[in-house]
Amino acid sequence: MLKDVVFGQYYPAKSPVHRMDPRSKIVLLILYIVMIFIVKNFWGFLLTGGLLLATVFLSKVPLKSMLRSVKAIIFIILFTFIINIFFHKEDGAKILWDVWLIRNVTDKSLYYAIFMALRLLLLVLGSSILTLTTTPVSLTDGIESLLKPLSYIKFPVHELALIMSIALRFIPTLMEETERIIAAQKARGADFESGNLFKRAKALLPVLIPLITSAFRRAEELGDAMDARCYNGSKNRTKYKKLKFSLVDLFGTVLSLTVLAGVILCNLYLGATI
Amino acid sequence: MNVIEIKDLQFSYDEHQPVLKGLSLTVKEGEFLAVIGRNASGKSTLARLINGLISPLSGEITVLNIDARKKENLYEIRKNVGIVFQNPDNQMVASIVEDDVVFGPENLGIPREEIGERLEFSLKETGTAEFRESMASKLSGGQKQRVAIAGILAIKPKILILDESTSMLDPRGREEVMSVVKKLNRKEKMTVITITHYMDEVVDCDRVAVLNDGVIVKTGTPKEIFSDEKLLEATGMEPPVSMKISLALNKLGVNTPLTLDKQTLLNELLKLTKKPE
């Protein structure tokens, strides 16, 4: 459980996708999401789905880990599917099924529902590739670097990134502490397992309060330690770690742009069905 | 040369309870000084005053001839005085060891190439190079404190303060940390001030300052301090085992030299047990 929180879903492996610059991964993911939303027919999905499959294959992430992220939102996918199948209305639609409870299912609404479900599925799978192949730490680095231009309009980019990385740094520490406090309270006879939901939530109070107090104490000590190490905000600060745009990134960008062009061509010449 | 000069320093967190009551102390360049004293005697407060994390009510502190009471001097002083704190978990900023070590030099605006050099140097000196890419949370207490020292070394301070840095460690971790610090003192000529209540760590120091009730009551070599029974009693401290045994033997009328060194004591004891021919 601890590992899950610290690394997110990160799946460690040596692959070209893992090696990519976090910045290009984030930008390409955004591009991919845009593609999925402009796709107007199934040919477009064939292309974006192909891009996704190729990336999964190159990243060496097993399909099982990919499917785990789908499982988390399977309910949402089913829900949109059902809503669309019953309530999507279009002129000239042929009714396929209209018996008691299940009414108004037309060929158009079935098509639309499948299309939307597929869109969501591709969206989730694509995003999970990013979190599966990038550690939270380098994700933070990537976000900081991408937001850099905002610092010209006085947006505290460095501070934001530092907050994120300190939060990540303290997750395992606070998790450990939670376990310790729970054990200590259990030793004094606290009961966390029985009773209804409300009772159990209430039982957590003696865990949360010491945890929060200790978090504040830690924050204070960390602040002192940072002061003692000459922390002075982003003023005159250098950065040791440099992100590098390499050949893999170039390849990824070219591939994605090619698929984008393909999607646009599909939309223009193969008919927009949505 | 004196790197730190403290004169008649007073400090209190609230009006009714003064913590330091006119403390005076000088620290010489390159020396290994131990500050000992019972809990709440003001040891940690002293460390924080030297570094400018808090400022005194009255009295003088000069660090490397810079007035530590002036706010504009703090940055300069912190560049030269590094502190390793007590809790290894609460002084690391980054999740990854390497990222944490470079935090200090990044703050100072050191150019990239030089940060790289400092990183390599610090990791090597503290023996932390083998887990440079590890998660900080996966390390043992001793390893974490060594990383903390590496983070301080990367700033290249002239003075290193250990503020009870070994008190949360197991004996092995304590030894790891102390051997790194001793090496830095000997090889890099770094001035070290260790604030501790482990008497065994004090034995190898050049000089010991005893802090009691807000003032330094005595400074001297470890041997001078630990053979002063009145002082030990008044300040509630126990001497290291070897000194305890040699003191006890003397009390029993057995004539042994007072020693802090276990091996010397052992040799003396062996001599005593040998029957005269």
Whole-number pLDDT of residue B277? 57
Residues A160, A166 contacting (CB under 8 angstroms) = no
Q: Residue B257 CB: number of other CB atoms within 10 A?
A: 11
Distance of alpha carbon A57 from the chain centroid: 19
CATH number at residue B88: 3.40.50.300
- What is the number of structural domains in chain B? 2
Claim to verify: residue B166 and residue B256 sit in the same structural domain: no
pLDDT of residue B39: 78
Whether the per-residue pLDDT at A157 is higher than 60: the answer is: yes
Same domain, B38 and B122: yes
Do residues B154 and B101 make contact, with C-beta atoms less than 8 angstroms apart?
yes
Percent of all residues in chain B with a pLDDT value above 90, rounded to a whole number: 42
Helix H or strand E segment including A258: helix A247-269
- A177-200 burial by CB neighbour count: b if 16+ within 10 A, else e? bbeebbeebeeeeeeeeeeeeeee
Residue A212's pLDDT is 95
CB-CB neighbors (< 8 A) of A241 in chain B: 99, 102
The C-alpha of A232 sits at a distance from chain B's nearest C-alpha, in angstroms, of 7
**What secondary structure letter does DSSP report for B275?**
P
The confidence score (pLDDT) of residue A8 equals 60
For residues B122 and B102, what is the distance between their CA atoms, to the nearest angstrom?
Answer: 10
Among A165, A166, A237, the residue with its CB nearest the CB of B109 is A237
pLDDT for residue A256: 93
pLDDT at A155 over 70: yes
Q: Which residues contact A72 (CB under 8 A, 6 or more apart)?
A: none
How far does chain B reach from its first CA to its final CA, in angstroms? 54
Torsion, CA A180, CA A185, CA A191, CA A192, rounded to 10:
-30
Regarding whether B204 and B115 lie in a shared domain, the answer is yes
Q: Give which of A230, A237, A239 to mutate to test B binding, by max B Cβ within 10 Å.
A: A230
Q: Judge: B106–A232 Cβ closer than 8 Å, yes or no.
A: no
Residue A102: what pLDDT? 66
Contact A222, B90 (CB under 8 A): yes
CA B25 to chain centre: 15
B147 contact partners, CB below 8 Å, separation of at least 6: B92, B97, B100, B101, B126, B128, B136, B139
Q: Which of A177-191, B58-72, B223-237, B262-276 has the lowest mean pLDDT?
A: B262-276
Residue B233 inside a domain? The answer is: no
Closest CA to B135 of A231, A227, A5: A5
Domain assignment of residue B231, yes or no: no
What does the radius of gyration of chain A's CA atoms come to, in whole angstroms? Answer: 24
Q: What is the pLDDT of residue A154?
A: 87
Q: Which of residues 169-188 of A touch B (CB under 8 A)?
A: 169, 172-173, 176
Least confident of A42-51, A52-61, A106-115, B20-29: A106-115
Contact B141, B167 (CB under 8 A): no
Q: From CA A177, how far away is CA A171, in angstroms rounded?
A: 10
Terminal-residue alpha carbon distance, chain A = 42
- In this structure, the number of other CB atoms found within 10 A of the CB of residue A50 comes to 12
| Letter string b/e over residues A77-88, b meaning 16 or more CB atoms within 10 A of that residue's CB | beeebeebbbeb
Contact B105 A240 (CB under 8 A): yes
Q: Which of B133, B60, B149, B55 has its CA nearest to residue B98?
A: B133
Please check the confidence at residue A6 and state whether its pLDDT lies above 60. Answer: no
Domain of B192, in residue numbers: 2-223
| pTM to 2 decimal places | 0.81
Which of the four pLDDT bands, split at 50, 70 and 90, describes residue A2?
very low
The distance of B53 to chain A (nearest Cα, Å) reads 7
The pLDDT value given to residue B70: 86
pLDDT class of B192 with cuts at 50, 70, 90: very high
Q: Are residues B20 and B157 in the same domain?
A: yes
- CA A170, CA B137: separation in Å to the nearest integer? 9
Task: Choose among A169, A176, A239: nearest Cβ to B93.
Answer: A169
Compare B83 and A197 and report the one with higher pLDDT.
B83
Residue A73 pLDDT: 85
Closest partner residue to B155 (CB to CB) among A221, A230, A241 is A230
How many H helices and E strands in chain A?
11, 2
> Which chain A residue lies closest to B89 (C-alpha atoms)?
A173
Asked if residues A108 and A129 have their Cβ atoms less than 8 Å apart, the reply is no
Indicate yes or no: CB of B155 within 8 angstroms of CB of A168: no
> Cα–Cα distance between B4 and B161 in angstroms, integer?
12
B167/B87 same-domain check? yes
Taking every pair of Cα atoms in chain B, the longest distance, rounded to a whole number of angstroms, is: 73
Which of B147, B138, B132 shows the shortest CA–CA distance to A175?
A: B138
Q: Do A240 and B106 touch (CB under 8 A)?
A: yes
In the DSSP assignment, the letter for residue A149 is G
- Please tell me whether residues B139 and B254 are part of one structural domain: no
Which residue in A169, A228, A238 is closest to B109 by CB distance? A238
Confidence band, pLDDT 50/70/90 cuts, at residue A28: very high
**Residues facing B215 on adjacent strands:** B212
Confidence grade of residue A103 (pLDDT, cut at 50, 70, 90): low
User: Is B232 inside any structural domain?
Assistant: no
Q: Are residues B153 and B56 in the same domain?
A: yes
- Residues B167, B276 within the same domain: no
State the average pLDDT for chain A: 86
A136 within 8 A of A8, measured Cβ to Cβ: yes
